Amino acid sequence: MKWMVSASLVTELLTKLEVEKDQWIYDAIKRFDGETYAENLELSTTEERILEIKNSEHSMYQQKKLDLERMELELNTLEEDVEENQRSLEDLEPTLDVLQKELAAYESGAKSLDEIQFEKFRCGLDDQFTFDKKDQVVFKERRISKLMGSYQLVESDMLDFYQRQLAEAWLLLTRSIETIASAVKFDFVTNPPVVEVDLKHGRGLDQYLKPGNFEEDYWIALGTLEWNNSIVYEYYLSQINQFQRNAKEELMQLWDRKHEQKRLADEKVLELQVKNRQMKERMVELKNQVGRAKPEWEQGLLRPKLLEDILKEEFVRAVSGWQEKLLARDASDEERWAYHQYSQIILKQAERIIGNETF
């Protein structure tokens, strides 16, 4: 009968201990994260649940670590890209400066071409004679030699007048393209097809005895001068205009090419500036994210250690409680045996959950 009572007590104790053997794990779970992890214990064993928690904590820690490393790597990459873009911007500055100066030089050259003037000579034959009150050449100057000498003098002045203008035009044309390596040459042709004066009465005696004869030859000489003046003027003007067009065409072709290069360079500058602004904004965003993520990662680094410490404390508390009962003076041999057996059971649990090296 005594044996049956003892067996019944042992069975009851073992049943109780079987229920209590996982309590230390449950208490550790509650201490670690309140009710969050303890909610679904009915879906798995307590031991399975604590292992899930440990794996989950490790996974979260690893994910935070990877996220932090990714953000720091992206931040470092952005810093390098911003520096590289800044160097590219600095490298583009002298290029843009050169292009702007070249464009200004071409524009200045084209403007200089437009400013070239070529005036027409005034045939002042009347300046060579003296006129009376009737607005006629005085008798003593009505000589063939006087008329021809005056004609030749005015014609010489006309040619000199155009030669001086040609020299000025050549200088302006040359200066307009001196900033470019041009193959354009300004070689003026200087043999205008002038006609000779053919006087109607300029033969025989030097003195015109009839006023009408002198007047007729005077107008022939003046008309010939004006005719030749128009020929020479148009002859040189057409060459100047052609040289202007040739030089301006070359300048404008160069201007178009340089303008396109500058447009592309300006676009590149704008693109780099936009990228830099976007990358700097992203850097600010990343720095804020890193500033928030780093403490979370550091906190996550402590959580596995905190869980392990709590598990150890709860294990020690549970084992200590059972050991007190095991060593109690009034404990029966059966109770001591039961407490010893379950102490070994939770010891094995602790080795699986916490690690063999701890025990």
Q: According to the model, what pLDDT value does residue 338 have?
A: 78
1: how many CB neighbours lie within 10 A of its CB?
A: 5
How many CA atoms, within 13 angstroms, populate the side-chain half-sphere of residue 273?
A: 9
Q: Residue 304: its pLDDT value, please?
A: 81
Report whether pLDDT(342) > 90: no
Distances (CA, A) of 163 to 145, 152, 169, 213, 312: 27, 16, 10, 34, 113
Q: At 274, list the tokens.
A: 């936009």
pLDDT tens across 5-20, in order?
456 666 766 666 666 6
* pLDDT, mean of residues 87-110: 90
Cα 26 from Cα 129, distance rounded (Å): 136
Beta-carbon neighbour count of residue 328 at 10 Å?
A: 12
pLDDT digits 0-9 by tens, 106-141? 888 888 888 889 999 999 898 899 998 888 889 899
Q: Hey, what are 71's tokens?
A: 């953000």
The whole-chain average pLDDT of the chain stands at 84
For residue 29, name the pLDDT band (cuts at 50, 70, 90): confident
Task: Count CB-CB contacts under 10 A for residue 335.
Answer: 18
Dig out the tokens for 287 from the structure: 């720095």
Question: Cβ(202)–Cβ(147) under 8 Å?
Answer: yes
Amino acid identity of residue 309, one-letter, is: D
With CA atoms as reference, report the closest residue to 60 among 290, 296, 288: 296
